[in-house]
Chain A
Amino acid sequence: MGEEGVIRNVVCPFCGCCCDDIELTVSENNITSAKNACALGQAKFGSAQVGRVLRPKERVDGKFTEIDYERAVRRSAKILAEAKYPLLWGWSCTSCEAQRVGVELAEEVGGVLDNTTSTCHGPGLLAVHDVGESTCTLGEVRHRADLIIYWGCNPVHAHPRHMRRYTVQSEGRFRKGRGERKMIVVDVRNTSAAKMADEFIQIEPNGDYEALTAIRTCLRGEELEQEVIAGLPSSRFEELADDLVDCEFGVMFFGLGLTMSKGKSRNVDAALSLVRDLNSKTKFLAMPMRGHFNVTGANEVFAWQTGYPFAIDFSQGYPRYNPGDTSGVDIASRGDCDAALVVASDPVSNFPLEAAKGLASVPIITIDPHETPTTNASEVVLPSAMVGIEAQGTAYRMDGVPLMLRKVLEPPEGVLQDAEILSAILREVKGLKGGR
């Protein structure tokens, strides 16, 4: 049963902040208010009522026909079991419990298991493999940090409560608020977050690697030979290096400005190296601004089960990891996969069009609560309950802290949860593969 009345301490299932102080008012299986939620959270809690897929369906002669779950599961299992190289994509907007079943299913069908990390902070994880990462929980940031850098991200739009709950505007044990913390923003635009900063450093597009390397050079006491770096006078980076060293506890939050622009993993490599260098002079940490509420969980679950956080290829019978080769966009754009399972994601919208076309040319099975361009391009669609609203489960916050998502509404009549659907497909696949 869903709950009624005021429900406190609900975790928001939108972004990687996973705000756990939401107060929902529920009446007659509707959320009538979401106190403390940001605009993104409000929209997510409100979306339970709109654009839903209510019945499983399959494509017959080019048109969708409604079917029951049993038939949808059988058809899905047949497609996956017969495929030579299926792509199992998505996973960042569902629970760890569903992700765990996904790993077993990917191994069983010998497919590629990839989550949306590969199109957000995947390059950052490649940099972590190379450099390592000095990091902490958001609680430590709240209580101790006196310098916050947002580099290549705009939390006002993408993580609206990040500053209020965890960083410059939060009230911690040892840092009482905005007056005791300095905020620096490095970006290519004068964003809403930049307007709130004590210092805004506007670099030119694709200039991140240069800028980060210039600061590292200054920290080592070496002279910058170029007069202009990333569109700015080199003296600007000398000043910035001094500012970074002056803090007692600094944290760099970095966004997709680093991972999606020229340099990609090398940009994050430079950022993490800068933070490592800073630790010889003061205390400094780094953290990626993770987008989907459980993309960190997808990395955790996949890594503890397979050893790798994303882009895992089971086609040889054991897990292999080679992003750029075994990652979703690359596989779809090369036309390598011959079937796809999409869970809680919309790659047809989010992939570059060429890759979206490649994906849409093979049979797709989609498990999703809402109608999307991907469900419309699918061969089989299985509606699911919204995780964190109609289904409980575990999610990992961007700092790696696991939190319990609540079930506060009943899903539409007859609609199952991701983990249940995936378990049913797995059972059917095992039957088709010889009763293992």
Chain B
Amino acid sequence: MKAIVVTGRSLAQGKAKENKFSDEYMKASAACEVDPDDLASLGVQAGQNVKLANGKGSVVLRAVKSSQAPHRGMVFVAYGPWVNVLMDPDSDGTGMPTLKGVEVEIQPAPGEEVKDLRELLGHSPRGM
């Protein structure tokens, strides 16, 4: 299913952001809030994993039933390194990459795990 990703601050992400390697930060930032009708269309239940992919990369996130619905065709992911896998650094000459309104393909990801932060960023030459 095609979807638009909107990123942003969430209370849970903001509370956990001073401790990036905590379970709370991962729970808040590696989650994808999906409209309940879109969850049904995908055949995914809240708590199961979904994969988001576009030309920049792909990432597995935990699906959460959105409390801010209706927003069919749009998913929300809190700011953070998980969703940044999908983001294009091109700033259109402004300095700001496009972090809201980004097109992705979303699909169920049974059997695929959400990577923790060290695993997600572990490919850096310095092991970030």
Interface of A toward B, CB cutoff 8 Å:
14, 39-40, 42-44, 47, 50-51, 59, 62, 114, 118-120, 122-123, 126, 154, 156-158, 160, 188-192, 194, 205-206, 256-257, 259-262, 264-265, 291, 310-311, 323-325, 327-330, 332-333, 346, 348-357, 360-361, 370-374, 376-379
Give A118 to B99 CA distance when docked, in angstroms. Answer: 13
Interface of B toward A, CB cutoff 8 Å:
4, 6-11, 14-16, 18-22, 56-57, 66, 68-71, 74, 76, 79-81, 84-85, 87-101, 117, 121, 123-128
The count of A-to-B residue pairs whose CB atoms sit within 8 angstroms is 198
Q: Are B121 and A348 in contact (CB under 8 A)?
A: yes
Q: Which of A59, A192, A350 contacts B84 (CB 8 A)?
A: A350
Give A104 to B93 CA distance when docked, in angstroms. Answer: 27
Q: Are A351 and B89 in contact (CB under 8 A)?
A: yes
Q: Are A377 and B128 in contact (CB under 8 A)?
A: yes
| Chain A residues with CB under 8 A of B123 | 357
| Chain A residues with CB under 8 A of B76 | 189
Secondary structure type dominating chain B contacts: loop
Give A262 to B95 CA distance when docked, in angstroms. Answer: 13
Enumerate the 9 nearest inter-chain pairs by beta-carbon distance, A residue then B residue, closest first: A327-B95, A377-B128, A324-B93, A47-B18, A333-B89, A352-B87, A118-B95, A323-B95, A43-B15
Q: Are B8 and A256 in contact (CB under 8 A)?
A: yes
Give A43 to B24 CA distance when docked, in angstroms. Answer: 12
Shortest Cβ gap from B66 to chain A (Å): 8
| Chain A residues with CB under 8 A of B22 | 50-51
Q: Which of A190, A372, A376 contacts B71 (CB 8 A)?
A: A190
| Chain B residues with CB under 8 A of A261 | 6, 98, 100-101
Q: Known contacts being A353-B81, A355-B89, is A373 close to B95, with CB within 8 Å?
A: no
Shortest Cβ gap from A194 to chain B (Å): 8
| Chain B residues with CB under 8 A of A206 | 4, 101
| Chain A residues with CB under 8 A of B98 | 260-262, 264
Give A188 to B100 CA distance when docked, in angstroms. Answer: 10
| Chain A residues with CB under 8 A of B128 | 348, 356, 360, 373-374, 376-377
Q: Are B95 and A205 in contact (CB under 8 A)?
A: no
Q: Are B97 and A355 in contact (CB under 8 A)?
A: yes
Q: Are A330 and B91 in contact (CB under 8 A)?
A: yes
Give A194 to B56 CA distance when docked, in angstroms. Answer: 32
Give A355 to B81 CA distance when docked, in angstroms. Answer: 11
Give A123 to B97 CA distance when docked, in angstroms. Answer: 10
Q: Which of A188, A205, A264 contacts B96 (CB 8 A)?
A: A264
Q: Are B100 and A205 in contact (CB under 8 A)?
A: yes
| Chain B: CB-nearest residue to A48 | B18
Q: Are A346 and B20 in contact (CB under 8 A)?
A: yes
Give A188 to B102 CA distance when docked, in angstroms. Answer: 13
Q: Which of B15, B21, B95, B125 contacts A39 (CB 8 A)?
A: B15
Q: Are B121 and A373 in contact (CB under 8 A)?
A: yes
Q: Which of B74, B84, B93, B94 contacts A353 (CB 8 A)?
A: B84
| Chain A residues with CB under 8 A of B124 | 348, 357, 360-361, 377
Give A53 to B11 CA distance when docked, in angstroms. Answer: 25
Shortest Cβ gap from A158 to chain B (Å): 4
Q: Are A353 and B87 in contact (CB under 8 A)?
A: yes
Give A311 to B100 CA distance when docked, in angstroms. Answer: 22
| Chain A residues with CB under 8 A of B57 | 353
Q: Are B14 and A40 in contact (CB under 8 A)?
A: yes
Q: Which of A157, A259, A376 contacts B14 (CB 8 A)?
A: A157
Q: Are A352 and B97 in contact (CB under 8 A)?
A: yes
Q: Are A353 and B14 in contact (CB under 8 A)?
A: no
Q: Are A256 and B95 in contact (CB under 8 A)?
A: no
Give A126 to B127 CA distance when docked, in angstroms. Answer: 36
Shortest Cβ gap from A137 to chain B (Å): 24
A to B CB contacts below 8 Å, 12 in the list: A44-B18, A51-B21, A157-B8, A158-B9, A192-B68, A264-B96, A310-B95, A330-B91, A348-B128, A350-B79, A353-B81, A353-B85
Q: Are A352 and B56 in contact (CB under 8 A)?
A: yes
